[in-house]
Structure 1
Amino acid sequence: MSLSSTAPSYAAVLRTRHACRTFGAALLGRLSYGMVSLSLVLATKEATHSYAVAGTVMALFGLASVLLSPTRAGLIDRYGPRRALLPMAAAYALLLTGLAFATAWPGASGVLLGVLAVLAGACTPPLGPVMRTLWSDVVPDRRLLQRAYSLDTVAEELLFVTGPLLVGLLVQVAAPSVGLAASAALVWTGSLALISSPAVRGWVGRRKAPAGPAPSEGLVSGLQPAPLRRRLLRGGPGLRQAIAVSAAAGMCLGAFDLLVIAFADAYHDPEAVAWVLAALSGGSAIGGLVYGAVPWRASSRLRLAFLAAAMGLALATSGLSPHPYVLVAWAALGGLFVAPALTTAYLIADECAGPATRTKAGAWVNTAFNAGSAGATAATGLLVGRLPLPVCFALVATPVVLSAVTTLRRSRRPAPNLTGQYT
């Protein structure tokens, strides 16, 4: 079936040759990421009987995973999934298995667990960025790529909801260390299935990349395209803005989770936390699916600005809720813009990067979101109790609104021509 004759739809995306097999394999491996964090905290706490050690080990794992994500993605771009992804997945699975054995008995050394956690985090295979790069190859029709990215973003978010639920069920019948072993098995199985997909055979690596400029990107100075890092600093405003908005969104959402807990405590209604976070995720899933189904005419950078502003304003206003269950409604409203904003950021990264750097560009967006989330959570802990909660909600939403305003202002500028002059 020709894509050009297929009406843009999610069914058309999944009917594309090799799409289901490739996407299913990536989701299987990425389910590990939804399970590993809670499994690691619970297993470390049971083995060391210390929340401090458990928190430190989890922080070390998260920092190593987030900060080295662009480097790992760059290896994928350079050598391809078959040569780079498989060793990463093997090392990651072995190290998680080592953590499972180390936490299976009481009295485990916190230093040993920290070292294993750092090594495991450093080897985390970038299955998300790889899959988003593969979508551009599997779905060459740009009309369907937006739907593919929306589907990917929504599915990934649901995995991070499903993963902790599976860990909760698992610890009812087994030790938390079994969750680490299960995470290792999932990532290894998913990675093997992914690299065996026929879609991976057509991977365009750096050595096969065309010498011309990246798509959607004018030549700023000279005839050769600048490396990705130089474009980030000088000549890639679209990619820089996607990264900035992603980081600001991560800050807003990471802080929002903590503020919801404080809000529920203030109203002596801890059960409301689950409802608020579920409403945020549910709204994001609905918004992502609807967004992917609409054939937008506005530019991706303009869409990103409005989506980020709407998300920030909704979550800022939610702090004025008179009751936790009013907060549920505001969270659902704000969630409608989360997946669409992230989807658009990934689309911009794909547009701004050439075939040799697409994985790394997507990884920068992902890294910015995760780093923003982690940093904001720590900073928000210092604000709670010192400032009124409505003020805290407004403050944590400010960065994403400001990033939207900046993106909107710059998206209206004309693009430079081949001589570097604006036309």
Structure 2
Amino acid sequence: MTSPYRAVFTTPGAKAFSAAGLVGRMPLSMLGIGIVTMVSQVTGRYGLAGALSAALALSGAACGPQVSRLVDRYGQRRVLRPVTAVTVAAVAGLLLCVRSGAPDWTLFACVVGAGLTPSMGAMVRARWSEIHRGSPELLHTAYSVESVVDEIVFIVGPILSIGLCTVWFAEAGPLLAACFLGIGVLLLTAQRATEPAPHPHAHLTGGSALRARGMPVLAGVFVGTGTIFGAIDVTTVAFADERGHKALASLVLASYALGSCLAGLVFGLVRPRGTVAGRFRWGITAMAVSMILPLLAGNLVFLALALFVSGTTIAPTMVTAMGLVEQLVPRGRLTEGITWTSTGLAVGVAAGAALAGRLIDARGASAAFAVPAVAAAAAAAVAFLGYRRLRPAPDREETYGDGRDERRGRDGGRGRQDGGRGGTAGQARGAGSREDESVA
């Protein structure tokens, strides 16, 4: 392991909470696809399966920020355990209803309850934000670690969920996803030393984190980014199916995730330069340019290479986006702020899948690659037009006011980190300094 990655894990408990976050994040990629596979196998109704998947996404988009707001207010342990209990019970109810042939409305009721699934990525990033506050270089590397974890989840999760549903029994994928969530939350909330302190009075001022200056711009960009992801998934499957190799679609999509995973590892070693807002703007631009490549694909090999190249723009942009949220929202609303980016992604994924599906039916898979290309261009346009609004929150301006202040923050953070290893500051980070964990 190279030096920057060693450095971020020197804090006691860091490896443990990151590993717990990996386990608890598996439902992110397993639950939706598992529900589709389960319902289509048991009932043969793909329309119902797709509607349930969409209902899960919409419920998660509506409930996720509210759950994270409660976490900011009351703390991770007090909120995550009861919310997860409701989620696991809802998934269990869904499995029983599907198995017993219950009315459709009961399936939707259970799926809405399952939408309470907490954003584990946000919880873990909030802990990183607390541990490495004031040291942007280490936080940058920590966010890169979590971006790689995200890609691992999206490579392994769907294969595991679909495989279990088809090889073992139909309910196996969603069942294992619920087990991962319960275990991950229990492991994470058992680690009190790195849990950020709650902000019980944060709700009295400022309203929702979405009202913070720049957050509507960021949420809009993430809707466009989610549209890219949703359209790429559907169009790639259709593209492979048209060429008689539908089974190879998973490998082609894996190349997309692999490109992002490798880029995230490399990006974590790079010293960040300039302002976070500037890096984010150019990251979105690179993503938009890379979406031209799939439009040129004529076979699966070229498409896999094109998506690998496109994937290399994802992790660096997402890492930078998490750092940007950490600056834009007040400390007492950090978890909620990061969760709003996930909400934007979820809305975009649903829209991208629907738009791509319509275009595939009308003009074929190759034409449908225009959906992610247009979405990427729109996301870049929003980032450029709203660039001036991407400024630090008032309680972050001292550290993040501009590029010079950011560099001063890095230097100061490095000094504090060194001092922390010597004694008092390290103890404070390990046990008491918990103010801002919520970067999802």
CA shift for structure 1 position 200: 4.4
- Whether 1:260 aligns to 2:260 is no
**1:22-421 map, 5 Å:** 22-105=17-100, 107-121=101-115, 123-140=116-133, 141-171=135-165, 174-201=168-195, 203-207=196-200, 226-229=206-209, 231-232=211-212, 236-237=213-214, 239-387=215-363, 391-408=367-384, 410-411=386-387
Q: Aligned with 1:293: secondary structure? A: coil
CA shift for structure 1 position 266: 3.9
* Deviation per residue, 1:330-389 (Å, 9 max, x gap): 111100001111121111111111221000100011111111111121122222243475
Stretch of structure 1 that moved more, 239-248 or 362-371: 239-248
TM-score, structure 2 length as denominator?
0.82
**CA RMSD across the alignment:** 2.8
Which amino acid is the alignment partner of residue 126 of structure 1? Answer: S
Which amino acid is the alignment partner of residue 158 of structure 2? Answer: P
Q: Is the 8 A contact 1:37 1:58 kept in 2?
A: yes
2:433 corresponds to which residue? none
CA shift for structure 1 position 23: 1.0
* Alpha-carbon distance change, 51 to 230 in structure 1, aligned in 2, over 3 angstroms: closer
Distance (Å, rounded) in 1 between the aligned partners of 2:203 and 2:32: 39
* Alpha-carbon distance change, 96 to 391 in structure 1, aligned in 2, over 3 angstroms: closer
Which amino acid is the alignment partner of residue 238 of structure 2? Answer: A
* Alpha-carbon distance change, 119 to 416 in structure 1, aligned in 2, over 3 angstroms: closer
Q: Is the 8 A contact 2:264 2:315 kept in 1?
A: yes
Q: Is the 8 A contact 2:238 2:360 kept in 1?
A: yes
Q: Is the 8 A contact 1:228 1:353 kept in 2?
A: no
1:216 corresponds to which residue? none
Q: Is the 8 A contact 2:209 2:337 kept in 1?
A: no
Which amino acid is the alignment partner of residue 168 of structure 2? Answer: A
Distance (Å, rounded) in 1 between the aligned partners of 2:393 and 2:16: 42
* Alpha-carbon distance change, 115 to 414 in structure 1, aligned in 2, over 3 angstroms: closer
Identity, % of aligned positions = 27
Stretch of structure 1 that moved more, 76-85 or 259-268: 259-268
CA shift for structure 1 position 139: 2.6
* Alpha-carbon distance change, 129 to 54 in structure 1, aligned in 2, over 3 angstroms: same
Distance (Å, rounded) in 1 between the aligned partners of 2:326 and 2:106: 39
CA shift for structure 1 position 95: 1.5
Q: Is the 8 A contact 1:305 1:407 kept in 2?
A: yes
Distance (Å, rounded) in 2 between the aligned partners of 1:353 and 1:417: 5
CA shift for structure 1 position 52: 2.2
Which amino acid is the alignment partner of residue 135 of structure 1? Answer: W
Q: Is the 8 A contact 1:317 1:394 kept in 2?
A: no
Distance (Å, rounded) in 2 between the aligned partners of 1:183 and 1:31: 6
CA shift for structure 1 position 58: 2.0
1:219 corresponds to which residue? none
2:432 corresponds to which residue? none
2:435 corresponds to which residue? none
Which amino acid is the alignment partner of residue 12 of structure 2? Answer: R
Stretch of structure 1 that moved more, 256-265 or 59-68: 256-265
CA shift for structure 1 position 167: 2.4
Distance (Å, rounded) in 1 between the aligned partners of 2:166 and 2:320: 39
- Whether 1:18 aligns to 2:10 is no
Which amino acid is the alignment partner of residue 169 of structure 2? Answer: A
Q: Is the 8 A contact 1:81 1:200 kept in 2?
A: no
* Deviation per residue, 1:376-413 (Å, 9 max, x gap): 21122222243475554234322322332443455479
Q: Is the 8 A contact 1:252 1:396 kept in 2?
A: yes
Distance (Å, rounded) in 1 between the aligned partners of 2:369 and 2:181: 36
Q: Aligned with 1:188: secondary structure? A: helix
CA shift for structure 1 position 210: 12
Distance (Å, rounded) in 2 between the aligned partners of 1:402 and 1:190: 36
Which amino acid is the alignment partner of residue 124 of structure 1? Answer: T
Alignment gaps of 5+ in structure 2:
395-400, 403-440
Q: Is the 8 A contact 1:206 1:356 kept in 2?
A: yes
Distance (Å, rounded) in 1 between the aligned partners of 2:171 and 2:323: 38
Stretch of structure 1 that moved more, 184-193 or 332-341: 184-193
* Deviation per residue, 1:252-295 (Å, 9 max, x gap): 12112222233334444434423321111110101111112111
* Alpha-carbon distance change, 167 to 382 in structure 1, aligned in 2, over 3 angstroms: closer
Distance (Å, rounded) in 2 between the aligned partners of 1:133 and 1:392: 37
1:215 corresponds to which residue? none
* Deviation per residue, 1:305-325 (Å, 9 max, x gap): 221121122122321123221
* Alpha-carbon distance change, 230 to 341 in structure 1, aligned in 2, over 3 angstroms: closer
Distance (Å, rounded) in 2 between the aligned partners of 1:165 and 1:93: 21
Q: Is the 8 A contact 2:227 2:348 kept in 1?
A: yes
TM-score, structure 1 length as denominator?
0.85
Alignment gaps of 5+ in structure 1:
1-6, 212-224
